[in-house]
Structure 1
């Protein structure tokens, strides 16, 4: 098994090199001023997505979660599910298992195969794959789709766990979006890396050390413990 801690720090370095992870001051969707920004949409070349998929595959194997297939919610989850099943097919830990995948459309087709689902039939233990969990909307929709097909949601696999509480500053939620998903659906959320890993990376990087204080202050204000 690949060392999980090393893998997490390597992913942070990779995200930084690709411009996916940046430090500074960013106004995020919630209106907060964040000292870091993570945009997985910037993994947008063949080489970067192929390497990202290897990180996803390794995180899933390291987790020990039992699974039969992947499900990618539209739209971001579609290329992630596709690429990650390719990486899993080549992973030595799966002993040649060929993992099927499926995804959904936002709009139903009334011709061809029809419906909203594309790919392999949803069956067995299904891992939902996405970039991050913010409001949990795509997870909720995915769980409903999987259960309606008679399959079992087994886990959610994401790139980064922000470990961040939602809500206004004077009315912050008790748990992070990831914790809410785990409690609501009774399934684990597996992340390639988390805010704790970003902090560990900053601890060991003299060039970026100046950002550590602002990231730590943000975590103290909005974060949850691991």
Structure 2
């Protein structure tokens, strides 16, 4: 389910509402890694029980399949990406697309099977599963591991694209971390929702308490946002 004729992305709207209800998407004043004061905070670590994780995986799988992006397997970067990749692989299989998945350790294991990688052998076009792309560091590390194993890093699926300027050397730049991954690292991006979808959700709730945050989030986007 994608954007309607009115430009409303129904899947994204469902996901934003789910994230708010799960307490994963919160509003107030939060300091980001870049030192900005953000009026919202998205913490995928709070999808912290079986029901929430299963529902999250449904959103990932639906978006991935609707995107048309080609992939042969999934890869989950440690640590958040491990549970995400496993859950998404289960949901994809339930929907009729059974693919292998793998993930990495933070430190190489020197006994047993050893090495940095766990799961299926990395091969073919690999889709990386993560929550957000903040600086692209985790993606670059994943790309290196995947390429070193002889596979092709091809795409990244994320829950939320913040659509805001990245920082380099403490200064804002004209592109986002997601755009950097697309343009400079050459990977396709598949996001369940974007900041624009969050703004639309808040605008549609103008009559209740959530609607009060629309102005603050819009001001933040106007200051730091990218398309």
Residue correspondence of structure 1 range 175-194 to structure 2 within 5 A: 175-194=175-194
The match for 2:6 is none
The match for 1:201 is 201
- Please state which structure has a larger fraction of its residues in strand: 2
The match for 2:129 is 129
The answer to whether the aligner puts 1:73 opposite 2:77 as a matched pair is: yes
Where 1:172 maps in the other structure, the secondary structure is: strand
After superposition, what is the alpha-carbon deviation per residue over 1:53-81, rounded to whole angstroms, capped at 9, x for unaligned? 01011111111001110000111100000
After superposition, what is the alpha-carbon deviation per residue over 1:106-128, rounded to whole angstroms, capped at 9, x for unaligned? 11111110001000000011000
1:166: how far off? Answer: 2.4
Unaligned stretches of 5+ residues in structure 1: none
Residue correspondence of structure 1 range 1-226 to structure 2 within 5 A: 2-4=1-3, 5-91=9-95, 96-167=96-167, 171-205=171-205, 206-207=207-208, 208-225=210-227
Where 1:174 maps in the other structure, the secondary structure is: strand
Query: Could you list the runs of 4 or more consecutive aligned residues of structure 1 that deviate by over 6 angstroms after TM superposition?
Result: none
1:13: how far off? Answer: 0.1
RMSD, matched Cα: 1.3
1:28: how far off? Answer: 2.2
TM-score (norm 1): 0.94
CA distance in 1, matches of 2:25, 2:173: 25
1:167: how far off? Answer: 2.9
Where 2:53 maps in the other structure, the secondary structure is: helix
Where 2:156 maps in the other structure, the secondary structure is: strand
CA distance in 1, matches of 2:167, 2:91: 37
